[in-house]
Structure 1
Amino acid sequence: MHKVVLYAVQGEVPCFVHVLLNALDMHARGWDVRVVVEGQAIKVVPVVAGTGHTMRPLFEKARDAGLFAGACKACAATQRMTEEVQDTGLELIGDMGGHPAMADWIAQGYTVITM
């Protein structure tokens, strides 16, 4: 079985949407796939998850399927987005100085892809 973790890093909505599309596609193929939200992508989460956003159903589908491993605790705090990200239902994670370590995923056999 393929094991992939997608790190959403870019702060543009189209980039984040492509992370969600790929995660849902991999999930539909039976792959073990997770999404970690990092960097500037933190700011995109409340936007896409917001009421009335055209991509909200896509976000909810990925969230409800359990595809999100979480969002970077340090990035959320630095960008003053902690509460907004938590309000979307994502857990704040990060045991590497507040950031989610890629090495942990690699040690578990995941391929790490940043987008």
Structure 2
Amino acid sequence: MNKFAFFAFNSNMMCFQHILLNALDLADKGKEAKIIIEGEAVTLVQKLEESNNKHYFKAKERGLIDCICKACSASLGVLEYNQSTNIPLKGDMSGHPSMEAFTKQGYQIITL
């Protein structure tokens, strides 16, 4: 296994921090890692963008943050802000990012 897609659903900052750490660690070790921000986790984007969270900005700069859920962003009132982050919003499955799209590309799905 060399490709991992982390689907972050939880709005707990500590949980998201561990996703960042693991994605960065895998990438540092030559694996492919993607972070998909889904569910209530979409509400963390503004906090992370306005923070000094070095792991978030490192993951963003390295292109590890694949996308933010368009439907959840709209539903939770953060669509406009999330659109301003230069992270793609995806919604190929009824407004949400599709896990199947990642498995089709050989990614192992990890959800938190």
- Bin of the TM-score, shorter chain as denominator length: over 0.9
Residue 76 in structure 1 maps to residue 73 in structure 2: yes
Q: How does 1:34-113 map to 2 (within 5 A)?
A: 34-50=34-50, 53-55=51-53, 57-113=54-110
**How many percent identity over aligned positions?**
38
Code of the aligned partner of 1:66: G
User: What amino acid maps onto 2:33 in structure 1?
Assistant: V
* Residues 13, 48 of structure 1: 8 Å contact kept: no
Residue in 2 aligned with 1:12? 12
Q: Secondary structure at the match of 2:41?
A: helix
Structure 1 residue 26 displacement after superposition: 0.6
TM-score normalized by structure 1? 0.92
Q: Secondary structure at the match of 2:74?
A: helix
Q: Distance in 2 between matches of 1:28 and 1:71?
A: 23
Residue number in structure 1 paired with 2:32: 32
Segments of 5+ residues of structure 1 without an aligned counterpart are none
Unmatched runs of 5 consecutive residues or more in structure 2: none
Runs in 1 of length 4+ with deviation above 4 angstroms?
Answer: none
**SS where residue 103 of structure 1 aligns?**
helix
- Distance in 1 between the 2:102 and 2:88 partners? 17
Shift of 1:70: 0.4
Partner amino acid, structure 2, of 1:11? S
What count of residue pairs does the alignment treat as equivalent? 112
CA RMSD of aligned residues (A): 1.1
1:35 maps to amino acid: I
Query: What's the offset of the Cα at 1:101?
Result: 0.7
Note the C-alpha offset of 1:36: 0.3
